[in-house]
Amino acid sequence: MPGLPVSRIVTTAPSVSAPAASSVTHHQRTLRDIFPTKMSSSFYLVFIAIGLHVTGHCFPGTQNEGKGNEVNHSPARNSTLYKMSTSNADFAFNLYRKLTSENTGKNVFFSPVSVSSALAMMSLGARSDTQTQILECLGFNLTEMQEEEIHQGFHHLLHTLNLPNKELELKTGNALFIQKQVKILTKFTTDVQKLYESEAFSTDFSNVSAAEQKINNYVKKKTKGKIVDLIKDLEPNTFMILVNFIFFKAKWEKPFDPLETKQNGNFYMSQSDVIKVSFMHKTEEHFYFVDRILNCTVLQMDYSKNALAIFVLPDEGQMKSLEDTLMSTTLRRWNHLLQKGLVNLYVPKFFISASYNLNTILPGMGIQDAFTNQADFSGISEHYKLMISNVVHKSVLEVGEKGTEAAAVTEIRMEFRSASVNPGTLIVLNRPFLVMILDKATRSILFLGKVMEPMEK
Would the CATH topology of 21-39+252-350+403-431 be identical to that of 41-251+351-398? no
| 402-441: pLDDT as tens digits | 311 211 111 222 333 333 445 789 999 999 999 999 988 8
Q: For residue 259, what pLDDT band results from cuts at 50, 70 and 90?
A: confident
| 289-310 per-position pLDDT tens digit | 999 999 999 999 988 778 889 9
CATH number of 41-251+351-398: 3.30.497.10
DSSP code string of 57-104: ----------TT----S-HHHHHHHHHHHHHHHHHHHHHHHHHHHHST
Fold for the domain defined by 21-39+252-350+403-431: Alpha-1-antitrypsin; domain 1 (2.30.39)
Q: 199-249, pLDDT tens digit by residue?
A: 888 889 889 899 899 988 988 888 777 777 777 788 887 888 888 777 777
The pTM (predicted TM-score) of the whole model is 0.79
- Higher-confidence residue: 379 or 235? 379
Q: What is the pLDDT of residue 283?
A: 92
Tell me which of 151 and 234 has the higher pLDDT. Answer: 151
User: Which residue did the predictor score with more confidence, 182 or 193?
Assistant: 193
The torsion region of residue 25 among left (phi > 0), alpha (psi -120 to 50) and beta comes to beta
Confidence of residue 47 (pLDDT cuts 50, 70, 90): very low
Q: Are 21 and 420 in contact (CB under 8 A)?
A: yes
Residue 457's pLDDT is 57
Q: So where are the chain's domains?
A: 21-39+252-350+403-431, 41-251+351-398
Band (pLDDT 50/70/90 cuts) for residue 52 is low
| Structure confidence at residue 206 (pLDDT) | 87
C-alpha to C-alpha distance for 316 and 328, rounded to whole angstroms: 24
